[in-house]
Chain A
Amino acid sequence: MSAITMRELTKVYPNGVRALDALDLEIADGEFFALLGPSGCGKTTLLRTIAGLEVASGGNVHIGGRNVTNLPPGKRDVAMVFQDYALFPHMTVQDNIAYPLRIKKMDRRSRGEKAAETADELGLTALLQRRPGQLSGGQQQRVALARAMACHPQVFLLDEPLSNLDARLRLEARTFLKRLQRELGVTTVFVTHDQAEALALADRIAVMEGGRIRQVGTPTEVFRRPANTFVAGFIGSTPMNLVDAEVHDGELAVAGTRLPVPDEARDRVSAGEKLVYGVRPEYLDYSPEPAPGALSGQVVVVENLGSFSLVSLDMPSGDAPATPGTSLQVVVPEGREPEPGDTGWVVPRPGRSLLYRDGELVSTAAPPAVPAARTGADAER
């Protein structure tokens, strides 16, 4: 049982920067949890506050039901893997892995055995007598993970675990990390600024901005239904199209076209209201011919992204309050790319459009705090 609960957690640095702003968050036992956000959003501060390397200015942190807010890092039963791995350069791999056990006063022999055992699980046996400087980036990362695993902590904290690896190795390490976390079943919190990494690895993601959490949800929830325009713009390899819209006669006037109001928002909008219409480029179908309920525009840029292309269209300003030059991006499968200068039509897929009022999603359901399955599992224990 090692859930992490934070209540009203606040961190104000001596220079007055409010890195964490009365933050509430629950991370379930065994969960692989991502803290995602742009640089300076407080995600690393949050991780370091859980680790105890930063002292909270207010609020509290519980790990496994124990209030650890005022405990030093060594007493919290957590292990942290740093962005640069922080392997001690003057120690061999074996001594590095055994270091937490040395601190726990385990005798030299048993800690050597334990280190060798942990190294074996991660395929590091051949490297035990090397020094960190003689290892590749991927090997260094695995040594850092082995060192964290050796002391069997309740919680793993990973600071940007993949950012020090080159692109190809990163994919490999991502799969490795996800499998390792599944096998160990230890609650793991990691920090990343890369939304693709968060979507791929995490069971749940907290998207942060300016010391606050803007949305917590599974990768699917965060991708399909961003709770606000910040998350909509941040998640996804191509940001969501956000276009000004106005409600007219139960329909939406968007860039010269009338579109139906999304079902969930139908009872929550009033005539004449100005909103933002959001749809992902992946959820738009391109057509070279006019189609019913389509937005039309002129193709300006075609970016080839391998198996698909990202097409940008300029929308005309019609009776809708779209500013001239409003543009849409749409994903077009290979072989069907238009040429720049063509006129094209795009049809939003049903059920994939969202409406935002003052930056917040207009929807019927309240945003889910902790997923039902996880909380159910916790309740049983």
Chain B
Amino acid sequence: MFHLTYHRPTSVEDAVHFFTNGADAKFLAGGQTLLPTMKQRLAAPSDVIDLRHISALMGIGSTEEQLTIGAAVTHAEVAASQQVKQTLPALAELAAHIGDPHVRHMGTLGGSIANNDPAADYPAAALALAATIHTNSRTIAAEDFFTGLFETDLQEGELITKVDFKIPTKAAYAKFANPASRYAMAGVFVARYADEHVIVAVTGAGSDGVFRHRDMEAALSDDWSVEALTPTSMNESDLLSDIHGSAAYRANLVKVMAQKAMKTMI
């Protein structure tokens, strides 16, 4: 690892200030992606700004319409939260299966969506739960937030502070995890709202990162059943193809995971 300067701010303002003053600064949330990347010398930030001591980034709250989670809340905290389990159990379940227990003790919601790994779990939840991402300077709809592989709409030095998730009437997430890395090879989040419209978000499979499966959404909004998924299809040219699985394999996996998610709700 290369030399770096460490900062431990206690406010969002100070964190942004350190970032702006650094030559090539990085925010460090749980560090479960950034530190391995730095160890491999694939990242070499001049300044590392630790976000684990900023109380404004902590906390979980809910209203009837939405669940709000602070950007620095860990996966383990989301998974164990009674409030999340009661208002959005599918999200608690998703958080409980990210990485491994040690990763979940450190990794955070904000870090996960800011990194936008194409196989990460939270981006699927953010899209399917029509999330609003709050930053130090604005709010961004999840729909506009995820812009490509490891790419988001965040500007340099912009910091996620919290995320609002819309509370659906029903929701479930099913993923097929890579047996070695536990990253999703296909993860499908299905959410149905009071007006019966359905959002289906897919992670792990898209060659451009997380995406909404419009065909499945139309089918399920029309007919809320496992069978409604049977005729849906996916354009394989939009899917990842790598040593872990071909695009055709992933296309099938997406449908199987969608069916699995549906079966837990019906």
Asked if A and B bind, the verdict is: no
